[in-house]
Structure 1
Amino acid sequence: MKPFDEMLISGDEVREPYARFHEWFREQDAEALGEKASEAEAFFRRTGITFNVYGQEEAAERLIPFDLVPRIMAKSEWDNLADGIEQRVTALNAFLDDLYHDQEIIKAGIVPERLIAGNEAFLEEMRGFRPPGGVYTHIIGTDIVRCGENEFYVLEDNARTPSGVSYMIENRETMMQMFPELFAQNRVRPVETYPHHLRRSLAAVAPPACEGTPTIAVLTPGIYNSAFFEHAFLADQMGVELIEGSDVAEIDGRIQMRTTEGYKPIDVIYRRVDDAFLDPKVFNPTSMLGIPGIMDVYRNGGITIANAPGTGISDDKAIYSYMPEIVEFYTGAKAKLQNVPTWRCAEEDSLKYVLEHLDELVVKEVHGSGGYGMLVGPTSTKEEQEIFADKLKKKPTNYIAQPTLALSTVPILVDGGLAPRHVDLRPFVLVSDKVRIIPGGLTRVALKEGSLVVNSSQGGGTKDTWVLRD
């Protein structure tokens, strides 16, 4: 099955959102565009926009390749997608609130209790506690794939600490600097307002102890974290402090940071530290990254933590397979955005089917991320399939499987002009007093011809995502 081409209908017939770009591109000099690509790479290198690759001695710090050709979406396409995303994140927050309180969805027999009981992502410490404003997932990155004109599917929900928003913003800034004439010809909705909306959204869920304007800080694990650039970038763009666990202490029932004028209480922490390392008094006692005592302060109304501890349960890929039912249970309406069809290997019939069709399916670990711990059946060897079959038989509850989708393609710049490559999309959503969805998001692109793996850690790149105003 030929993948859906987001730019071309057939031959040289161009889809409407790309019409003005296509006219502009035909007038460009190929050599000059190549020089622009080199300029962009030099800019990213100079700015320090890198990510770390763990477990590799060589080139541990890398640039994410950036492609100059924007991905362009019509207003109507985006509006339909945004409606579905808003419905989904609303349901996710309701689901988390229910899980940590009455568990009505389990009592109704919709989500099996076995998926929650004993799941390391479900935190008993959050039972019976409701975060300020009733919000659990303040920042969400929903991974979307497209397979047709109006066929969008959710690949996964990133409700813990989704990354990539800094690349979305820097990609836009780079494009505006290099091709201002393109923005004059196309009415593109802004993404650079994200830090303003993020600060506003975080301030709206300040804890009961807050007096006056909320003090906000970004908690980072430190400079060796793979996403440290983003932590520093967002703190700087919001005009708030970037802190590490060693910069703060629990004093008088508040989390306070050192300043030149003594200690100052923090009201809202945007944390980029995983649950296990957040509070050594409650979770991992050897953690040097978190803040001792923060969970007690949190439960006593002295601070807001975004995202809330325990949100990782909604990232579980086995839970994901129930999202259409979860959306309908909490919103009373059918899901506007569908899941990718999913086989739960914990179920005997599903496991049998998956084992018989390993060469056709994508098999994923329930807690996996970043493109690791997975089998892409059509591109795998017999040996790899045999290894995975053994893993599935030993621990079927640890895996789900999905069909290999014909992901949509968008053009990238190559030596011969333009060539189609597969993409996904991560829109960023802010939840507090209202749901704010940034128009566009981070488009990740598989730069190798025919590849379906878009993750930067696996050789993928990024591109600017345009949502047109009309």
Structure 2
Amino acid sequence: MKSIWENYKTEVAYDELMHSEFQPRPVSHRLCQYLNSLNKDDIDKRKVAAELAIMEMGISFTVYSDEGNIDRAWPFDIIPRIIAAKEWRMIEQGLKQRLTALNHFISDVYSEQAFIKDGKMPGDIINSSKNFRKECVGIKPRHNVWANICGTDLVRDKDGIMYVLEDNLRVPSGVSYMLENRVITKRVFPELMQDIDVLPIDDYPTQLYDMLVSIAPLKNGRPRIVVLTPGIYNSAYFEHAYLAQQMGVQLVEGSDLVVEKDDCVYMRTIEGLEKIDVIYRRIDDDFLDPEVFRKDSTLGVRGLMRAWKAGNVALANAPGAGVADDKVVYAYVPEMIRYYLNEEPILPNVPTYLCSDKDQLEYVLEHLAELVAKPANESGGYGMIVGPHATPKEIADFRDIIKKDPRNYIAQPTLAISTAPTLCEDRLEPRHIDLRPFILQGEDTFVTAGGLTRVALKKGSLVVNSSQGGGSKDTWIINGEDG
């Protein structure tokens, strides 16, 4: 029987499952052994089962293009990514540490700005930030937490070390796909899931709900919570609807809510107005309240900022949290951890060059062909350049772009980010991956057991975003003797 592992090459990157050719890592030994026992028909049946499950469950994402918005089935690879529980415990502590420091920083930015006054960061970085909201100065959300939901992107380099690539603190998405990936995997490999002790993730909606309850304005009784979506044309609408359904709360659009003269938020219902206590908003700051931000926004709720400032409604994430969701600010997170927590960072940053610094800019322009350069506030892999994969003309053009707005760009070494076996037709091939765990912070802090593993499905590509051809895998944190 032809092995599914035939001709599998681990190449130069760290491979998450294979230590070397035909040598599984201890944590993945049982999975590799199991996969090797399957023939082509077995693999095909499981692949088809996954595709059917995705269709039945209606799991999709929206791609924006010149031809219009296209709904696509979620691209899923059936071979899971595995991490040992022992390693994960360290990562989990690092993620909690990081979000705690970031929330201290955001709170500081909108109050004393001690971090800046003590010379830890140039004030111009905040003054020039497109996500700094002067309207938030002096506000103190409950528990002093601004970013209640964070999706932190992790990558592993060839040295085996897990690095933080970026923090997503505005409206991070992807957690529904993490949850659905597990449901699909249970259908595809039911016998394997029973045989290996994989830590569960299905408590996330409960943890999310409990966190939202914990930030509600103080009152008696159960708070009324809603998920605020921009609507069906948003690329993450599936997730908005999924999370609302899983938590048992209403999914609403801006037109469903109104702020009355008492500066409280109400939901329109057939029985009249119903007071809302907590809004899990999936709308960017700019569109949240036409009274304060973009006047032409039809997605938000007029007067919402007034209600929030009055303490009559909680917003997750808080407006203004995006000031720390900036790749320039990212470079200062290790120093934030030392400054606010008096601790050394558990998880390292990727070395980062700030183009706003004259000397670092000179180095970036000179070595752009070797670096990854990206804008400070874009997401989805847009607006960036991977130097080793770019043409001389693309590099020259990008130099000009950086020179026009150096504050808006950073650069990092091109990491040989780790790979994982991915099903390509009837064989396994290595594909580059990252990992987005989700961290919740309110009264307590919670980290998902693993996260969304995203896969660059194109051979050799480092871009894992689904909008640019990426897919995903289930992520297994293995407990017990394997982990």
The TM-score with structure 1 as length reference comes to 0.97
SS at match of 1:358: helix
Segments ≥4 residues shifted beyond 2 Å = 45-48, 414-417
Q: Specify the alignment match of 1:141 in structure 2.
A: 151
Q: Specify the alignment match of 1:326 in structure 2.
A: 336
Matches of 2:389 and 2:437, distance apart in 1: 28
SS at match of 1:213: coil
Matches of 1:146 and 1:194, distance apart in 2: 25
1:465 aligned onto 2:465: no
Q: Specify the alignment match of 2:45 in structure 1.
A: 35
446-455 vs 84-93, which moves further: 446-455
1:278 aligned onto 2:299: no
Return the offset for 1:374. 0.5
Return the offset for 1:212. 0.9
Q: Specify the alignment match of 2:253 in structure 1.
A: 244
Q: Specify the alignment match of 2:237 in structure 1.
A: 228
Gaps of 5+ in 1: none
397-406 vs 52-61, which moves further: 52-61
CA, structure 1 residues 21+149, in 2 after alignment: closer, same or farther (shift >3 Å)? farther
Task: Work out which of the residue numbers 382, 386, 390 in structure 2 matches 1:380.
Answer: 390
1:355 aligned onto 2:348: no
Task: Work out which of the residue numbers 308, 312, 323 in structure 1 matches 2:318.
Answer: 308
1:3 aligned onto 2:9: no
Return the offset for 1:9. 1.5
Q: Specify the alignment match of 1:98 in structure 2.
A: 108
Query: Residue type of the partner of 1:259?
Result: T
Return the offset for 1:262. 1.6
Return the offset for 1:150. 4.8
Return the offset for 1:396. 1.2
Query: Residue type of the partner of 2:131?
Result: A
1:181 aligned onto 2:191: yes
1:38-437 map, 5 Å? 38-57=48-67, 60-148=70-158, 150-208=160-218, 210-251=219-260, 252-437=262-447
1:233-257 Cα deviation digits (max 9, x unpaired): 0000000000001011112321010
Residues paired across the two proteins, number: 469
Q: Specify the alignment match of 2:7 in structure 1.
A: none
2:308–2:314: 8 Å Cα contact kept in structure 1? yes
Matches of 1:37 and 1:58, distance apart in 2: 30
Matches of 2:118 and 2:92, distance apart in 1: 29
2:254–2:301: 8 Å Cα contact kept in structure 1? yes
Matches of 1:65 and 1:409, distance apart in 2: 17
Task: Work out which of the residue numbers 33, 39, 56 in structure 2 matches 1:23.
Answer: 33
Task: Give the fraction of aligned pairs with identical amino acids, expressed as a percent.
Answer: 49
2:14–2:160: 8 Å Cα contact kept in structure 1? no
Matches of 2:312 and 2:88, distance apart in 1: 39
1:50-108 Cα deviation digits (max 9, x unpaired): 11112331772222310000001111110111111111011011011111110000001
1:321-344 Cα deviation digits (max 9, x unpaired): 111111111110111111111111
Matches of 1:350 and 1:49, distance apart in 2: 43
Matches of 1:53 and 1:17, distance apart in 2: 36
1:139–1:162: 8 Å Cα contact kept in structure 2? yes
Return the offset for 1:456. 0.6
Gaps of 5+ in 2: 1-10
Matches of 2:343 and 2:118, distance apart in 1: 17
1:274-330 Cα deviation digits (max 9, x unpaired): 001101111111110001111111111100000000011111111111111111111
1:113-160 Cα deviation digits (max 9, x unpaired): 000113220001110110122111110000000115651110000011
Matches of 1:58 and 1:247, distance apart in 2: 26
Matches of 1:34 and 1:346, distance apart in 2: 51
1:177-233 Cα deviation digits (max 9, x unpaired): 22111111110111111101100111011113x431111100000001110000000
Matches of 2:170 and 2:405, distance apart in 1: 25
Matches of 2:123 and 2:263, distance apart in 1: 36
Matches of 2:303 and 2:69, distance apart in 1: 38
2:69–2:233: 8 Å Cα contact kept in structure 1? no
SS at match of 1:400: strand
1:20–1:185: 8 Å Cα contact kept in structure 2? no
How much is the aligned-residue C-alpha RMSD, in angstroms?
1.3
1:18-61 Cα deviation digits (max 9, x unpaired): 11111211111222212321232232233221111123317722
2:12–2:158: 8 Å Cα contact kept in structure 1? no
